[in-house]
Amino acid sequence: MHQTFIPGITPPTVQSQPSWWFAFVGNKLLVRSEGNVSQIPNLISLTEIGLTHVRTQFLGTLDGQPCYSAELPKDAIVPDGMVLQGLRELYGTLDEQLYALSGRAIQILEWDRTHQYCGHCATPTTQLSHERAKRCPNCGLVNYPRLSPAIIVLVSRGEELLLARAPRFPPGMYSLLAGFVEPGESLEETVVREVREEVGIELKDIRYFGSQPWPFPNSLMIGFTATYASGDIVIEPQELVDAAWFSKHNLPQVPPRLSIARKLIDSFVL
């Protein structure tokens, strides 16, 4: 069933109804685990399960229910029947909408945690009431949650697509080329530069595909498709251990359905 999330800044004056609590110890989310299904705590307060928080942020409402991110102490005792898990491991076990909100929650929580003091003069910051921002009362510097835009591109050549392996990948897994946008670049310029730097080939017909929030830790992945134009594959050894053309009918292990990389691959193959 589709649920409607409405982002918000100001929490309810009186916290009298159950809320969704996206509570983290570090980057691990607290969930109730029942077999292959995970559930986000739905409570009036975390004190109901014996927990206290370091700080919280109101996220908005999901079908009228308040949603909060919460930073728990590192020594928090996990309640019976609950576990702490990373977001990657939780994909497919959480409701899709709640999973997306978990990604939003950890990014806002991390921004809150790392902007308690002004980066210019070290004065404790004040959170603004009308927008998601922190202001320094001494020098006036304002900080908003920041995203790091990155491109990811499916490069095709007839019925083949270009896949590559980075050293950090699990054994046997290949994926698409990706990279962060540099200051002064357009997204299309980043696509051209990243592919040229990593595998030495040139592109044409660059087209936007879609985007995906990627809270690992704070990226926005912007997907493109492109067509091979010229050149031979010459990998950048500091970035990749292998890159090759693969037939759409005979692919190696590719990323899970969680990722926009897989969505791009599936759109080409299916």
Q: Is 21 annotated as a binding residue?
A: no
Q: Among residues 103, 129, 145, which one ends one of the domains?
A: 145
Q: How many structural domains comprise the chain?
A: 3
Residue 158 CB coordination number (10 Å): 10
How is the beta sheet containing 142-143 ordered, strand by strand?
126-127, 134-135, 142-143
Q: Are 10 and 58 in contact (CB under 8 A)?
A: yes
Mean residue pLDDT of the chain comes to 95
Q: Are residues 195 and 265 in the same domain?
A: yes
Q: Are residues 155 and 263 in the same domain?
A: yes
Q: Among residues 67, 98, 114, which one ends one of the domains?
A: 114
| Closest alpha carbon to 29 in 97, 96, 109 | 109
Amino acid 101: pLDDT: 96
User: Which amino acid, one-letter code, is at 47?
Assistant: T
Q: Is 262 annotated as a binding residue?
A: no
**Cα-based distances in Å from 258 to 39, 212, 217, 255:** 18, 10, 15, 8
Q: Are residues 180 and 129 in the same domain?
A: no
Amino acid 34: pLDDT: 86
Q: Are residues 18 and 97 in the same domain?
A: yes
Amino acid 152: pLDDT: 98
Q: Are residues 163 and 231 in the same domain?
A: yes
Tokens representing residue 235 in the block: 């990998």
Q: Are residues 88 and 201 in the same domain?
A: no
Q: What domain range is 216 assigned to?
A: 148-269
Q: Are residues 130 and 190 in the same domain?
A: no
Burial of 88 (0-12, 13-18, 19+ CB in 10 A): exposed
Q: Are 248 and 159 in contact (CB under 8 A)?
A: yes
Q: Which residues of the chain fall short of a pLDDT of 70?
A: 1
Q: In the chain, where does DSSP find H-type helix?
A: 87-90, 96-114, 187-199, 260-269
Q: Are residues 33 and 121 in the same domain?
A: no
Q: Are residues 165 and 263 in the same domain?
A: yes
Q: Is 67 annotated as a binding residue?
A: no
Q: Are residues 161 and 263 in the same domain?
A: yes
What CATH number should be reported for the domain holding residue 53? 3.90.79
Q: Is 131 annotated as a binding residue?
A: yes
What CATH number should be reported for the domain holding residue 244? 3.90.79.10
Q: Is 15 annotated as a binding residue?
A: no
Q: Are residues 22 and 106 in the same domain?
A: yes
The pTM is what? 0.87
Amino acid 1: pLDDT: 58
Amino acid 105: pLDDT: 97
Amino acid 230: pLDDT: 98
Q: Is 180 annotated as a binding residue?
A: no
Three-state SS at 48? helix
